[in-house]
Structure 1
Amino acid sequence: MPESNSLPTTGTSIRPITGAAPSTEGRPRHLRPVWFVLLLLIPCLALTLYYYQYGVLTESSGGSLVPSTSYAFVLLLINLDLIGLVVLTLLLSRNLIKAYFERRHRLVGSGFRAKLVAAFIGFSLIPTVLLAFVASRVVDKAVDVWFSDQIDHVMRDSFEVAKMHHAGHMTVAVNSARAISQEIFREDLMAPTQRDLLIAAMARARADHNVAGVEIYSAKMETLTKALAPEVPGQVIDLPIGQLVLQVINTKQEMTSVQEASNGRLIRAGVPILSSANRSEVDGVVVVDSYLPESLLAKMEGIGQRYAEYKQMRAMKNPIKAGAYLFVAVVTVMILFGATWFGFYVARSITVPIQRLAQATEAIAQGDLDVHIEAKATDEIGTLVESFNRMTADLRAGKAEIESANESLRRSNVEIERRRAYTQTVVDTIAAGLLSIDRQGRITTFNPSAERILGIWGDRVGNRAANEVFKEFKLDLFQTAYDRMLADQRDTLSLEGQVEAQGKVLTIGLSCSRMKDEAGRDLGFVLVFEDLTDLIKAQKAAAWQEVAQRIAHEIKNPLTPIQLSAQRLRKKYFEQAPDFDRIFDEGTQVIVNEVGSLKNMVDEFSKFARMPAPQMAEGSLHDVLREVIALYQGAHKDVEFLADFDEVLPSVRFDREQIKRVLVNLFNNGVQAMNQKGRLWVTTRYDGKRRRAVVSVADEGTGISSEDHEKLFMPYFSRKRTGTGLGLAISRRIITDHEGQIYAANNQPRGTVFTFELPV
């Protein structure tokens, strides 16, 4: 019996968890040659059976006394099998001898091992030997039955029947050809005048003789008629026949031929037709076809092949018996070997795990948690080993979680620092000024662009209260935006105003946004601002240049009829024209009308240029809308006004007169676009998310062309013959002063819709 650390172990072993090389202590060294021999022996046994069945039995030919190559290879494999069995027996004997000496030296567990192995050998030896004896007798009886004289007679008779069937087809074809030849000779059907009768007679003869085809050829090898069975494939009937006909004509003897096709075999019998005038001459040839289908041929050939294989196997009767006895012997030895080896395995699975647990406990006590005991047992010892492994796994997992948490925290800190540096770089390099305020109202960020625009150094405002900084540096625009964001609970706000910085008055465009985290919690505000002074100057210069050009154009329009009327009056006056009074009245009327148009245009421009600041007051937009609708309903009877008001719209701060003027301009545009007849829709809507009051005025007029869309709100742009082009420009100015927006779009299916928004 081998010592405890060298017994076969498949149930329990200790191995490290990490990448360290596993210890070889306790590994069963003798199992390596055992498994090596088994890996060689099992394929050898399989190859022996395979080559014996498919090599020796199929290659051996009856009557040959020289063994085949496969037979020699099988002998080699049998020798290898015997050598493997001898080696396994030696290895088994080695274990038994070790068990005997361990028992004599009274090693721990050796007595239990010896008894368990002896019990397994005893329990397996008697039934195995009995099974081997019975199997040998059964094999001997079975082989004798397989190769008995009765089976030999059956196989030989089947082969003879197949041969006789083939010969029968040949006989039928020859006899049919003879009978048809005699019928043709007797009835003198070869005469040219009997051709139709010949064709009909051959069709009848084919059916009477039940053959595949009847073909008649003249002495000059001309085809006179063919009567073919429809079930015979065309490619079989089309096989060449000229050689057979020629031989029959030349030899004046009966001839047969067998022709192979891909889907069957064609048997042909050719018989000469004697001449009625001279019986030594031949008038033609009768060819009768007999068809053997492929399925029938396959069965006939299979019978012949099986009979040949059976004769070869019968010659190997004694070697087959020897091989069967050898196989039974090998199985018997393998069973005994397996029982003995399983006894060693079970004994070891009981005694070794305790030793492994002690070793593993000692390793854990020394701080090594990378220990795992592999156990496949399902009894109490297996449960104990699994509990121990779970304990070490929990300790190892706790240690790994702590290390992973430390590593994750380190990576998070690195990532946070990287993002902070990246964000700080973006903040420092953007051209717009940026100022952030935390939830406590203290300034946390003041970038270099903000320092440049406002002329304030960041260290003077950093970490100070925003209200204190805005008051100290007179940043009233920033204070207003901050107060409104706090009071109205807004998420965004955009303002434009003037700020005094570095001794200059700057026009600042300011956008304020509320910062929130992923959970929606408020983090403070961020204010982004730009210096718009130069931009606004350029825009104003461009706008006034455009206005001047349009005013010049609009003034030229009435000056032309004034000049023409004055020239006409002067001409009629010097000519002393008899209709001077009428011409004078018309000319002066034109001048008065055009001067009035000029005056209206100048008045509108004055209003646009001197637009007063809005007087803001809390009020209802719906009241103003109802007032304007009532005014237009009385003046335009052919226009239907459809109102749809949002009842949840809250009150709005606005200048009542200026908003009323915007509505009048929009209503005028809609009524004129519909030629004083149609429907006008007026709707209101409250956008709670953006905190905006939305008013829409839609008509079903001609709509807006794509080229006019961009110019719609520019001063002195109008497509109406009597328009000044200032109505929509004034409306846009009013809405902009109210911090709102106005825009236009095409209505569906036709018309225009004007929409303006006011902050709530």
Structure 2
Amino acid sequence: MTDSRPRWQRRIAVFYRRTRLVPIFEILTLVALVAMLAVTYFVTSGGASDDLLSPPLVASLLVANLVPATALMVLVARRLAKGRAARSPVGGRGRLHVRLVALFSVIATVPTLMVVIFASLLFQSGFQFWFSDKARTILENADNVAQVYSAENKDRIFRDVQAASGDVVGAINQYGLDTVEFGDYLLYQAVVRDLSEMAVVTVSSAGELQLRAFVNLDDRPLERRIPPETLSQLRKGGVRVVNNDVGDRVEAVVRLDPEQEVYLYISRFVNQKAIKQIDEARSAASDYQETLARSRTLQVRFNILLFLISLLIVALTIWIALALADRLVRPVGQLVNAARRVAGGDLSTRVPSDAAGDELGTLGNAFNRMTRRLEEQTRDLVSANSQLESRRALIEAVLSGVTAGVISVDTDRKVRLINSSAEALLKAPVGAAVGQRLSELAPELDAQLDSEHREDIVQLASGGELRTLAVKRVRVEGGHVITFDDITEQLLDQRRAAWSDVARRIAHEIKNPLTPIQLAAERLQRRYGSEVTSDDGTFERLTSTIVRQVSDLRRMVDEFSSFARMPKPVFHAEPVADIARHALFLHEVAHPDIDFAFHAPDPSPILVCDRRQLGQALTNIVKNGVEAIQQKREDGDTSAQSVAMTISEIAGQLHIVVEDSGVGLPTERSTITEPYVTTRVKGTGLGLAIVKKIVEEHYGSIEFEDVDTGGTRVRLVFDMATLAGMNTVHSEEAVNN
């Protein structure tokens, strides 16, 4: 898959992967943030508390701190995104998480920075306006007006109490303190001087205030009108303007008699709206002064609040981006897990259906439909395979019981099916032939596929033996089916039957004139041998030759007769070592120049056999060994000349091995046991044929091997258990007879 990005982007990506810039950028961002925080602290902490910072400076500091802080948050969120992506079922490097975090961070950061800048500038401008000289002058003037108004009221009440005190003292002296006339006089003074309240108060010996005369007093107690500290000051002399908790009037007290504690109390109501405005002006001025004292602190706090709100917005946006990425990755992860389970063979896997109906839900529904169809198709395939396997097992069971070899090959001539009979005939290891090319397994059968004939006779060389196979082939869909039977023994039996008939006829036709010829030659030799003296013994040599050749012909006829009329063996339990030793002894006496060796276990194994036939077979084998040694000697080889016979019992089988040091086996060794096949000049080709027939009638086998040092090894193998059963059968037949 090719990368469709521009070349410069690919180069940047390669450089980014090689240099690992992200950790370096994280460290640099953290250092920049710490540095900007330090610079901001030093800038904002210097100067007087009421000295405001300029709006551009504050906005610049805010942005300078916000940019690295936001970048650091994005980088931390990137790590979190990668960690969450790594723990998700999808795995990987979390590109979706990182991209969503980056996208949302940019979307949130840019407008946040703009809003923060404008908010900071707007706040700083408003802050500067409210704390400007004009605003300060207005508030100070309002406070001054309030103070002037309050001072004027106090001065007026002060003058009134001083003026009234002299008049009241005169009235007391004239009317007395507790008279009606004095009360009327107080009322007159109150009206004339526009007073709201007026009273004369004395102090008892116990120090309690006593009201002696009054005008328009409300229910407030005297102690609140004339506090103790005011009395203490009045005892020293002078006039005191009382500052009490009632803000709707001004009050004043003066001592009337230096000798006695007699006091004059007066009050006057003031304008309520004016008093309220005065209080508001004073409160505003006080608040303004307090705010002005910490104006720089408020300015810094507001910008810190903007900074934190901006970071909170970015953090909330990043959290939303991560949650959205998880929301997007979750169904993808479910699909990945489901795909892995399907790959593992669990076709019943389904992903939860998404009710939202978005693209991911559509993908999940499509995946569920796919797995459902796969499950149904797999179920059908399993059922079909089960049926095919049952049919295959049935075919294999049938083929395993068939004696004929069966091979199925595909169009590439690779073996798809082979039964046990074919493996045995082709000497192939069990199960190893499937998948192998037919040309490697059996080139003769592979060549038959190119033939025009569907039925043919094929000579197959396998394991050092030449076998004749009757081959049939059938073309099927996707290849061929080859069936073949081993007809080697069948052809051999046919040839044996034919040769037996020929031998019987030859023996009958030749044997009849042999006796008269031999008798005539012997009679001529006896009657005329003494009379013929002129030919230097020619007559005697000729008649002797006739007699000798007739004897050879008679021996040949006897072999023909033996091969043609081989009697059924008569089985008895015999010591096989005695039979073998006797067969070897006859040749040992006749050929003293050859070393004969005999090895047999003691005691001798007992074999159920026909003693005469087994002895004949062993004699013939030893005879062939002796003749092979003589032929080797005639060829000029006078090396070691020996014949050894060994008898052993292995796993219930009796092995008789005859080994000679003769000329060895011929090249065409597969036909040496067939009738009339011989390599010797005077041989009839019936010796080994008779031996094989005797061995087969004893349910045994005969094998021919080359000796490494030269010579031939003949191995006869008999199943002792099978032959023991033959002894029982013949015993029962003898009893029945």
Normalising by structure 2, report the TM-score.
0.34
Structure with max Cα Rg: 2
* Structure with larger RCO (C-alpha < 8 A, sep 6+): 1
